[in-house]
Amino acid sequence: MAETKKPIIFAPETYQYDKDSLDIGDVDQSPIEQFHKWFDEAQKSGEPLPESTNFSTASLPSGRVSSRVVLLKELDDTGFVVYSNWRDSKKGKDVQSNSYAALTFFWKTLQRQVRVEGLVEFVSKETNQRYFDTRPRGSRIGAWSSPQSHEISGREEFEKVYQQREKEFEGKEQIPCPDYWGGVRVVPLEIEFWQGRPSRLHDRIVFRRETVQSEWKVLRIAP
């Protein structure tokens, strides 16, 4: 009989969350405004890439979940916008079969987390081009060059295509945004603001609504 190895404990519970607290009376009536407040504080705290967020999607009918870290690029009264390739990528295929997605922000320096669950909608072509024009030239050419998430024989294959695209766009000030590349907005149905507290008795304030037209309900949930 094979000897059972002793499991390795990677994170013994020695770290305590003790920087702040959160109550229903502390949060703005609008979860979007509350997010803006916390995001500004994360920026000022020196948190590296506070706009980085874990974007989770699931395919149907399998229900298989996939996650990746992306960057939040826009936030308006409607929702949270991220940009990517939506034709070739796994997340693109997921949102074509399942319109629900989730975002998670974690700001270690402030011991805070924000979870967002909601419906995905594509932004307009005009919005896509407006943002695409702000990207570094190399990133715009890269969007035309990569069959994102598809198997390739090696990096040389990708770099060859990139060089071909470079020549194609040489001398052109504006590069058009590919039809398959652009933004999706996660329109929230639930936003949770999590503040770490000692003894793992964290503060969790949640905004919930049944539909995107419904009023927000604010509640505290157990840690």
Which residue among 68, 137, 140, 200 is the active-site one?
200
* Displacement of CA 46 from its chain's centroid (Å): 20
Helix (H) or strand (E) holding 66: strand 65-71
Residue 54 is classified by DSSP as: E
Helix (H) or strand (E) holding 203: strand 203-208
Longest CA span, the chain: 69
Q: What separation, in Å, do the N-terminal and C-terminal C-alpha atoms of the chain show?
A: 41
For the question of residue 200 being annotated catalytic, the response is yes
Output the CA–CA distances (angstroms, integers) from residue 35 to 24, 42, 174, 201, in the order listed: 14, 10, 34, 22
CB atoms within 10 A of CB 178: 15
- Positions annotated as catalytic residues are 200
